[in-house]
Structure 1
Amino acid sequence: MFEDEKDDKIYNLIISNGFDQKNEYGQFTQKLFEKVDFLWKESISGSYEHASAEFYSKVDRIILLAGLYNENKDLFNSLLNASEKYDIPIVLVRPLGLEEVPEILEQKAATIVGWNANCIIDSIKDADVLI
């Protein structure tokens, strides 16, 4: 990587979790951990619906794992509302092994990405440009 292309930003992410029968959350975070040139941390709240403006002011992106949507609709709705209220871009990750995503999520996403680690990182970095 060229020095002028180096990105030293530490991206503060919220990554959807919850009931996860296929361990998509674990597989997704593993992909992030494997990209040693991408710096990130995760913000977690006991209730995203009641988290403060200060909490959200530090978040760069909300990552929604579309494969978890059907079993975690309340969590997703809280994150969709927060995205809109605090102007946080959403990176929507397709369900593992599938192409289609729920329409409600697609409409709110700044970008939609599959499971290629390089594409995920590029989508996170460029999400604010795509809005």
Structure 2
Amino acid sequence: MKIYNLFISHAWKYNSDYYSLENKLNEYKRNHQDFNFKNYSVPKHNPILDPNEDYSRKLLELELEGQIKPCSCVLIIAGMYATHKYWIQKEIELAKKYNKVIIGIRPWGAERIPAIISENATQMVYWNIESIVSAIKANCK
């Protein structure tokens, strides 16, 4: 069975969407024999590192690159963009640098999506596990 190597965009302080998506993917995996994935995201962080300090930011960018490089697919939840603009832009840059598929996920009830996500996404989907998994299967090698 194919294993999809995924990076799920996340934020340290506001990670409920990340965990919700990860839980949905794990539940789907348990209930469907044709889907398996490995999550390369590391949502927990070293509390010594401050993402607002230049040195720490550089270290975090290198860690982020190490998480995205081996993946086949980057999932970005579009609703987190306003609060985490810098890091989501960095994830998009790294995904493009390594020719990774980007799947943008539109949050429930969202009428507008940041242009940087919709313009760079291979596919935009709604916050529905069937749509998300279908996009992964169709686009991720």
TM range (shorter): 0.7 to 0.9
Secondary structure of the residue aligned to 1:49 is helix
* Equivalent in 40, 61, 79 of residue 43 of structure 1: 40
CA contact (8 A) 2:7 2:67 kept: no
| Cα displacement string for residues 37-93 of structure 1 (whole angstroms, at most 9, x for unaligned residues) | 221111135656324877544201000011111111121111111111100010000
Question: Which TM-score applies when normalising by structure 2?
Answer: 0.74
- Structure 1 consecutive aligned stretches of length 4 or more whose deviation exceeds 3 Å: 45-48, 51-57
Instruction: Classify 1:99/1:33 alpha carbon distance in 2 versus 1 (closer, same or farther; 3 Å).
Output: farther
- Write the mapping of 1:109-124 to structure 2, written as runs, cut at 5 A: 109-124=121-136
Q: CA RMSD in A?
A: 2.3
Instruction: Classify 1:48/1:113 alpha carbon distance in 2 versus 1 (closer, same or farther; 3 Å).
Output: farther
Q: Which runs of 5+ in 2 are unaligned?
A: 46-58
Distance in 1, Cα, partners of 2:60 & 2:72: 15
CA contact (8 A) 2:64 2:91 kept: no
Cα offset, 1:34, TM superposition: 1.3
Q: What is the number of residues matched between the two proteins?
A: 121
Percent of aligned pairs with the same amino acid: 28
Matched, 1:10 2:9: no
**What residue is the counterpart of 1:85 in the other structure?**
97
Distance in 1, Cα, partners of 2:100 & 2:111: 24
Distance in 2, Cα, partners of 1:81 & 1:49: 11
